[in-house]
Amino acid sequence: MKYKNIIFDFGNVIGKFKGDYILGKFASTPEDYNILADAIFKNWVALDAGTIDYDQNAEDTIAELPDRLKDTARDFFENWFQYVDPLPETWKFIKELKARGVPIYLLSNASTRFAERAPKDYPILKEFDGIVFSAPLKMAKPGHDIYYHLFNKYDLLPSECFFIDDTVENVIASKELGMESILFTGDIEAVKRAIEF
HSE-up of residue 163 (Cα within 13 Å, Cβ side): 31
Q: Domain check: are 191 and 126 in the same one? A: yes
Q: Domain check: are 54 and 136 in the same one? A: no
Looking at residue 31, its pLDDT comes to 96
Looking at residue 193, its pLDDT comes to 97
Q: Domain check: are 104 and 10 in the same one? A: yes
Looking at residue 59, its pLDDT comes to 97
Q: Domain check: are 43 and 121 in the same one? A: no
Looking at residue 38, its pLDDT comes to 96
Looking at residue 132, its pLDDT comes to 98
Q: Domain check: are 9 and 101 in the same one? A: yes
Q: How many domains does the chain have?
A: 2
Listed residues 49, 83, 117: the one ending a domain: 83
Consecutive sets of 10 residues in the chain, 197 residues long: mean pLDDT of each?
97 95 95 96 96 97 96 96 95 98 98 95 96 98 98 98 98 98 97 97
Q: Domain check: are 93 and 43 in the same one? A: no
Q: Domain check: are 156 and 90 in the same one? A: yes
Q: Domain check: are 77 and 91 in the same one? A: no
* Sequential DSSP letters for 19-57: HHHHHHTT-SSHHHHHHHHHHHGGGHHHHHHTSS-HHHH
CB–CB of 33/72 below 8 Å? no
CATH number at residue 177: 3.40.50.1000
Q: Domain check: are 69 and 129 in the same one? A: no
**Which residue segment(s) compose the domain that 97 sits in?**
5-16+85-195
Q: Domain check: are 53 and 145 in the same one? A: no
CB–CB of 37/22 below 8 Å? no
Angle at alpha carbon of residue 138, lines to 81 and 175, rounded to 5°? 90
CA atoms of 7 and 89, how far apart (whole Å): 16
Q: Domain check: are 31 and 76 in the same one? A: yes
CA atoms of 188 and 165, how far apart (whole Å): 12
Q: Domain check: are 70 and 145 in the same one? A: no
Looking at residue 48, its pLDDT comes to 97
Looking at residue 109, its pLDDT comes to 98
Listed residues 83, 104, 119: the one ending a domain: 83
Q: Whole-structure pTM over 0.75, yes or no?
A: yes
